A and B are shown apart, each in its own frame.
Chain A
Amino acid sequence: MAITVTIRTNSTGNAEPELKTLEPILKVENVWKLYHAGKVEVPALRGVNFEVLPGESVAVMGPSGCGKSSLLYVIGGLAKASRGKVLVDGNDLVAMSDAERTKLRRHKIGFVFQRFNLLPALSAKGNIAIAQYIHGDGFDPHRFEVVTKMLGLDGRLEHRPSEMSGGEQQRVAIARAIINEPKILLADEPTGNLDTKNSEIVLEMLRRLNKDLGQTIVMITHNPEATTYFDRVVHMRDGVIVDGGPAD
């Protein structure tokens, strides 16, 4: 079942209040993901139902192997669901070709990974700018400045990943993920490789992105403390959401 949140807004030039339905930016309906180990089918996701509203921040928790990462890859279009529907901003990823999912990812999804995954040959600036290049609009110096300043990267832009701390690398990765203003930011254990101090910095930045800029965020984490920075926590087990999913 999908959650439909209804809010009241004031419409200019209309004396009467107007009802406006806030559609989920992400809607996952009965999604299955099967992997093949030889002739054996191994289900990673078994009928997941899940929704995220625009501007919401959701943490997905669960034990290792419960399907968290599979869910993230499926909703990010990196992997295709075997069955079900994955609607991102109204587009069904399951019905899309690989090229169409790539295009959607380019324009609507931002990824942050546990291992930072910066391109080692490029500087911090290059790592962020390449996302703008791939997006297709070219380098936007204003947006670049706003994002890097917000993430405290001003003085580190010419450094390569090997010359930066883990926390700095993850901030560059966040900058790269949000530089094109994606509809959804997907974070796969972003604090998994960081110490406590840097974890707090990164989580605080994600929180600010959500609260100040209204960035929709879905984050996978093992860390219960990390979930306190998020609006909602979803628990997964054995490929299904057991708590915090859509209300019946």
Chain B
Amino acid sequence: MMGQFVFRNLFHRPLRTLIGVVAIAVEVTLVIVVVGLTSGMLQETAKRIEGIGADIMVQAPSAQIFIVMSGSPMPVKIGEKIHDLKYVQYVSPAFLQFNTSGGVETIWGIDPASFRDVSNGFVFHEGHDLQGPDDMLVDDWQARAKHVKLGDTYTLLNHDWKVVGIVEHGKAGRIFVPITTLQELVGGRDKATIFLVRCTRPEHTPDVIGEIKELLPNYPVRPVKEFMTLMTSTNIPALQTFINSMIALAVSIGLLVIFLSMYTTVLERTRDIGVLKSLGASKFMIIRALLAETTLLCLLGIFTGIGLSYVVRAGFLKLFPTLSILITAGWVLRAALIAIVGALIGASYPAWQASRKDAVEALSYD
């Protein structure tokens, strides 16, 4: 019976319910999409780094693990020293430049020959490898997203590049240019952002890491196979702060809307509360009824929010095909839990207020 009462009350004011559902849905969508976007970007980057096929990655001492944002170059000559180490087969420097003009992308400056050695080369859909100083390779996703064709001119960093090859996605970046040209363009001559190292055999990776650490103390040296597990938002403090801020914002929206919604509900139902009290309903019963109504409202909002997240993701991917939004069951559950807890906190004061209403005053309320 109480279930029916709660259910009927919820739909007695459809517009109010709709606003509550939308608020919760926005809250849930915001959490799922923001987290999905960040973890999707991280995972996608990590997958592409793993996809290179190198065994070890070396970065400058102050570099971030999220290498696409890293601005800490090292002298290219370090690569030669690494190459001299035992069990090291190939070393390839890469210079990364983060670009935000005309889109968000990371340009990989590579040395074609050594990169080919380390990675076994690209799989070409069309065209050929980098040969001239203004040559550019793009992966198939980037080509589709930017409508780039073989032979097109692609302007980046105020420089006109010629697209000479379209390669299979999943290896390092989406845009590749000769390292020397990129170094010149951004004033980083003879600098590298990372060194990709290939060992003579994969089982020698720990030994080589030990040797590099001895040679270059304080330089982050990581096995590429572990990169995926390291690329989490918790390892990138600013990103974690961003995610936390977005979650806090989402929770605030949900909490305030539910608070306002339930507060007005309690005001509107003052007389009903008086009636329930006259029938002998306890304070606990009144609180439970209002919190059950909030929970039901919240569940509707959560399901709507989950659906909306997939719609938003589809929309984003349509607009930005190179984006990756990772919606995981874990974060869907967390977003649902956050929404429920936020809504119950928002509803608890109005519910408590309702339970404390004077029955006589409530019955004479107009």
Contacts and interface: CB of A to CB of B under 8 A. Distances in A.
Interface of A: 73, 76, 78-79, 99, 102-103, 105-107, 109, 111, 113, 117-122, 126, 129-135, 139, 176
B253 interface: no
Contact of B12 (A79, A103, A120): A120
A126 B279 contact: no
B363 A113 contact: yes
Query: Per DSSP, are chain B's interface residues mostly helix, strand or loop, or mixed?
Result: helix
B360 A79 contact: yes
Interface residues of B, number: 24
B153 interface: no
Given A113-B363, A117-B275, A107 B280 contact: yes
Contacts of B363: 78, 113, 117
B271 A117 contact: yes
A73 B5 CA distance: 26
B5 A130 contact: yes
Contact of B278 (A78, A121, A122, A139): A78
Nearest to B2: A133
Given A117-B363, A120-B12, A121-B12, A134 B5 contact: no
The 3 nearest A-B residue pairs measured at CB: A106-B280, A133-B1, A121-B12
Nearest to A116: B275
Contact of A73 (B11, B280, B285, B360): B360
A105 B1 contact: no
A122 B5 contact: yes
Contacts of A103: 280, 282
Contacts of A117: 271, 274-275, 278, 363
Nearest to A78: B359
B276 interface: yes
Contacts of A111: 278-279
B281 interface: yes
5 contacts: A78-B278, A113-B278, A118-B275, A126-B1, A126-B5
Contacts of A102: 277, 280-283
B318 interface: no
B188 to A, nearest CB: 69
Contacts of B281: 102, 106, 134
Contacts of B275: 117-119
A86 to B, nearest CB: 15
B150 to A, nearest CB: 66
A16 to B, nearest CB: 43
Interface string B108-140: 000000000000000000000000000000000
Contacts of A76: 278
Nearest to B284: A99
Contacts of A134: 276, 279-281, 285
B4 interface: yes
Contacts of B1: 126, 129-130, 132-133, 139
B279 A130 contact: yes
Contacts of B9: 121
A103 B360 CA distance: 17
B282 A99 contact: yes
B105 interface: no
B334 interface: no
